[in-house]
Amino acid sequence: MRVQSHSRQPYRSFFTSARIKQLDTFLTAQYRSPHMGVADEIVAIVDEHNTVLGSAPRREMRAKALPHRATYVLVFNSQDQLYVQKRTLTKDVFPGYYDPAAGGVVLAGEDYPQGALREVEEEMGVRGVPLTALFEFYHKDAHNRVWGAAFSCVYDGEIVLQEEEVESGFFMATAEILQLAETEPFTPDGLYVLKRYIAENHPESKQDEVEQE
């Protein structure tokens, strides 16, 4: 699938505004009780082919390194700058790291688009903005076995950070983000998503070869 650059081609929406409104009730935490802690979230568990096998509490998924699904949303502004988050020190994986993508685990009963819309609203207060589907991928490291789905959007509104998960954030040009990643810790899966996005949408400015984990 060829995904066009925000700055070069008309923005192509994965969701229409009507579809987003239809999902508003879902985003009021259909799958998460307001009294449920993050560690108690019920997460979709998959196999090596990304087929859903069942579900498990998030704490069990982390403890057993169970393969699961996650979403990654690259949030650009109209100047083609990308929002970078600084994760809180209480995160259960990569605490205190920078992350070029909003997103998180896909909950039981969710699909990727639903999870992406929920996460970008929870973490940054972004809502009512169409998402563009980019690509799916598998990532494995010492902390994670995850089937990810990447999305992008353009947003110039107010950023409202989820204080439990996001310490701070800022917009920055993608080339500058890659430079920052040479000296500061970044989530490896988020950095993979950014590098692959650049390789597929800005081939003339590849900074690194992107290799699938």
pLDDT confidence of residue 168: 96
Return the bridge partners of 140, or none.
Answer: 145
Question: What is the chain's pLDDT, residue by residue, as a tens digit (213 residues)?
Answer: 333 333 333 334 444 444 544 444 344 344 444 445 566 789 999 999 999 999 999 999 988 989 999 999 999 999 999 999 999 999 888 999 999 999 999 999 999 999 999 999 999 999 999 999 999 999 998 878 999 999 999 999 999 999 999 999 999 999 999 999 999 999 999 999 999 999 998 766 554 444 444
pLDDT confidence of residue 29: 41
Global pTM value: 0.79
Pick the closest to residue 118 from 106, 109, 130 (CA basis): 106
Left if phi > 0, otherwise alpha if psi is -120 to 50, otherwise beta: which for 70? beta
Domain 17-78+100-162, CATH among 3.30.750.80, 3.30.70.270, 3.90.79.10, 3.40.228.10: 3.90.79.10
Q: How many whole angstroms separate alpha carbon 60 and alpha carbon 169?
A: 29
Torsion sign (Cα): 49, 27, 55, 116? positive
Domain ranges of the chain: 17-78+100-162
